Amino acid sequence: MACAGLLISGCRGFPGRSAGNIFTTKGSSSSMGYFTYTSITAIALLTAFSGGTAFGQKTSAALDWSPVKAAAYLDERLGWWMAWPKSARDHGTFCVSCHTAAPFALGRAALRGPLGEPSASANERKLLDNVVKRVRLWREVEPFYPDQTSGLPKTSESRGTESILNSLILVWNDIPAGRLSSETRLALDNMWALQFRSGDMNGSWAWLQFHNAPWEGDSQFYGSALAAVAVGSAPGNYQAEPEIQAGLRTLRAWLVKGMDARTPADRVVLLWASAKLKGLLTQPQQNAIVDEILTRQSQDGGFSMSSLVGSWKRRDNTPLDVASDGYATGLIAFTLEQLDAPQAQPRLKRALTWLSANQIKSDGRWPASSLNKQRELSSDAGLFMSDAATSYAVLALANAPAR
């Protein structure tokens, strides 16, 4: 979610990244031990992201992009976000934003394999520490946007949104270890406690509404689909645990009931969730969404958010950017990689080629523009859409088989 609801993009160069430490390992400190641990970490991450085995699979070395520059961009951007006064929250924490922080946690982890990193970057560690702190202090920390200062029902919306993002980020971090940490279980417990249990919203969660697309404009479906991604991705077959079956049944029912009325962008995230959460969609339902999305691919091989948001209009009445962008192309390519959809493979290859050719060489980002109004592209806030675009482009390319 965006502080002040800003969801935009821009252009600027950034310095290099730093390294931190999240995983530890026992045994020899020899170069062979380091190589083995790095390889295992990379394989575990790739397996989790792709939904299938990474053994014996050539990855994105055949694609012409720079993981080093992508990492530098993402690390710098999260550093800026953590220090930005508008993102500050109580207890020395910061807002876990939909546009910068949450996608960063997913995409930056995917770069550890291509970069040969055995552990998280320094800013990954800071984000994880922030999330863990807020999870542990869940009953003490204030919501991101309290009712008292932001109006009803912002407390409920903030809690629902944060509970899902916290769960997704911590689940993603646990995947290489193959088991849930106590903090991740607590985050998931916090999330389930906030699921609606009656009425039209039964099975879903409250989600922040700032009338900003794609993450805070009528986006409750998107948020609940992300909850399904988190549960379905959780290691240790968490989705089969008896205690959560009632909640899963109502979540599946709510998502399927509402999917035809949602934007294509929301259905892409539902498609991703269906690759992780058993029984969410049938194969024909998956195929129907895949076929619909593929019709929206541009001649250049990319996808544009303007074709995925239905009748959405910018509030300054300027036209939406119809050019292919990194967010739409990265998210769709990554999602298609999760599925057994042979009909999508030629189109997926074209999307990956577009991503490979459209990384900005000067700073490592993939471009994406605001759906809400024209923004100054060189501003810090003007980069928010590109933050998410870069994370999803990285996820897609890090999973890409050799061409």
> Which fold is adopted by the domain 3-399?
Glycosyltransferase (1.50.10)
Task: Count Cα neighbours of 135 within 13 Å in the Cβ-side half-sphere.
Answer: 27
Domain boundaries, the chain: 3-399
Per-residue confidence of the chain (403 residues) as pLDDT tens digits? 544 443 333 333 333 333 333 222 333 333 333 333 344 344 445 444 444 332 223 344 457 999 999 999 999 999 999 999 999 999 999 999 999 999 999 999 999 999 999 888 999 999 999 999 999 999 999 999 999 999 999 999 999 999 999 999 999 999 999 999 999 999 999 999 999 999 999 999 999 999 999 999 999 999 999 999 999 999 999 999 999 999 999 999 999 999 999 999 999 999 999 999 999 999 999 999 999 999 999 999 999 999 999 999 999 999 999 999 999 999 999 999 999 899 999 999 999 999 999 999 999 999 999 999 998 777 888 899 999 999 999 999 999 875 4
Strand, helix or coil for residue 88: strand
Closest CA to 172 of 134, 116, 139, 131: 131
Other Cβ atoms closer than 10 A to 149: 10
Question: Under DSSP, is residue 263 helix (H, G, I), strand (E, B) or coil?
Answer: coil
